[in-house]
Structure 1
Amino acid sequence: MLKFPERFLWGSATSAHQVEGNNINSDVWSEEYADGSPYADKSGDGVDHYRQYRTDIALMAKLGLKAYRFSIEWARIEPEKGFFSRSELEHYRDVLYACYEYGITPMVTMHHFTSPRWLMRDGGWSNPEVSGLFARYCEYVFQELGDLIPYALTLNEVNLPIMLREMFINFDFMPPIGIDAKSWTAPGWRESAARMCGADIEHYFTFHMASDEESLQHVKDSHVKAREVIRRCSPSTKVGLSLALPDVQAIAGGEENAEKVWHSYYRQFLPILQEDDYLGIQNYTRERYGPDGQMKPPDGAELTSMGSEFYPEGLEGAVRKAAIDWKRPIIITEHGIATEDDLQRCHYIRRGLEGLHAAISDGISVEGYLYWSTFDNFEWIFGYSSRFGIIGVDRTTMERHVKMSGKLIGEIAQTNGL
Structure 2
Amino acid sequence: MALSFPSDFLWGVATAGHQNEGDNVTSDTWFLENVTPTVFQARSGKATNGWELWESDLDLVAGMGLNAYRFSVEWARIEPVEGEFADAALDHYEAVVDGCIARGLAPIVTFNHFTSPHWFAKRGAWLDESAPELFARFCGVVLDRFGDRIRLAVTFNEPDLPEMLTWAGLPDFIADLERQTLEAAARDAGVEKYRAGNVMLREDFAGMRAGMTAAHLAAKKAIKARCPGLPVGLSLAMCDDVAAPGGEEIRDRKRAEVYDYWLRLAAGDDFVGVQNYERLHYGPEGLLPPAPDAVVNGMGTAVDPASLRGAVEYAHQVSGVPVLVSEHGVSTPDDEIRAGFIEPSLEGLSAAIAAGVPVLGYCHWTLMDNFEWIFGFGPQLGLHSVDPETFARTAKPSAGVYAELVRGIRSATA
Query: Which TM bucket (shorter chain)?
Result: over 0.9
Change over 3 Å in CA distance of 1:22–1:340 after alignment to 2 = same
| Aligned residues between the structures | 406
- In the alignment, the residues of structure 1 paired with residue 312 and residue 344 of structure 2 have an alpha-carbon distance, to the nearest angstrom, of 14
User: CA 1:92–1:401 in 2, change beyond 3 Å: closer, same or farther?
Assistant: same
For residue 182 of structure 1, the aligned residue among 173, 177, 184 is 173
Does structure 1 residue 195 correspond to structure 2 residue 187? Answer: yes
For the 8 Å contact 2:267–2:321, the answer to whether it is kept is no
Kept after mapping to 2: 8 A contact 1:22/1:45: yes
Whichever residue aligns with residue 380 of structure 1, its letter is W
Is the 1:224–1:272 Cα contact (8 Å) retained in structure 2? Answer: no
Which structure 1 residue ranges, 5 or more long, are not aligned?
Answer: 173-179
Q: C-alpha offsets along residues 158-211 of structure 1, whole Å, 9 cap, x if unaligned?
A: 1111112333xxx22xxxxxxx752332233322223344433xx122123276
Please name the residue that 2:194 is paired with.
Answer: 204
Partner residue, 2:310? 317
Aligned partner letter, 2:194? Y
Distance 1:78 1:195, change over 3 A: farther
| Aligned pairs (5 A) from 1:362-373 | 362-373=355-366
- The more displaced of 97-106 and 186-195 is 186-195
When residues 231 and 362 of structure 1 are mapped into structure 2, their CA distance, relative to the original with a 3 A threshold, is same
Tell me what 1:82 maps to: 83
Cα deviation 1:340-365 (Å, max 9, x = unaligned): 11111011111211111111111111
CA distance in 1, matches of 2:291, 2:117: 41
3-state secondary structure, aligned to 1:280? strand
SS in 2 for 1:55: helix
Q: Distance in 2 between matches of 1:276 and 1:56?
A: 31
Aligned equivalent of 2:108: 107
- Aligned match of 2:346 in 328, 332, 353? 353
Cα deviation 1:363-384 (Å, max 9, x = unaligned): 1111211000011100112211
Residue 166 of structure 1: SS of its match in structure 2? coil
Structure 1 match to 2:228 = 235
CA contact (8 A) 1:31 1:189 kept: yes
2-structure distance, mates of 1:396, 1:321: 43
Deviation larger for 281-290 or 305-314 = 305-314
User: Which residue of structure 2 aligns with residue 390 of structure 1?
Assistant: 383
Q: Structure 2 counterpart of 1:399, which letter? A: A
Q: Deviations over 1:287-312 (max 9, x none)?
A: 22222333443444321123232122
Amino acid at match of 2:397: M
User: Within 5 Å, which residues of 2 pair with 1:33-52?
Assistant: 33-52=34-53
Shift of 1:219: 1.1
Is 1:254 equivalent to 2:244 in the alignment?
no
**Residues 118 and 197 in structure 1, CA contact (< 8 A), matched pair in contact too:** no
1:117/1:197 CA distance change after superposition, 3 Å: farther
Letter in 1 for 2:165: L
Give unmatched runs, 5+ long, in structure 2.
Answer: none
**Alpha-carbon distance in 1 for matches of 2:301, 2:201:** 24
Give the superposed CA RMSD.
Answer: 1.7
C-alpha displacement of 1:151: 0.6
Q: Is it true that 1:275 corresponds to 2:268 in the alignment? A: yes
Write the letter of the residue equivalent to 1:133. L
Task: Select between 297-306 and 9-18 the one with higher mean Cα deviation.
Answer: 297-306
CA apart distance, 1:271: 3.7
Whether contact under 8 Å (1:121, 1:199) holds in the other structure is yes
The one-letter code of the counterpart of 1:190 is L
Percentage identity across paired residues of the two chains: 38
The answer to whether the 8 A contact 1:132-1:222 is kept is yes
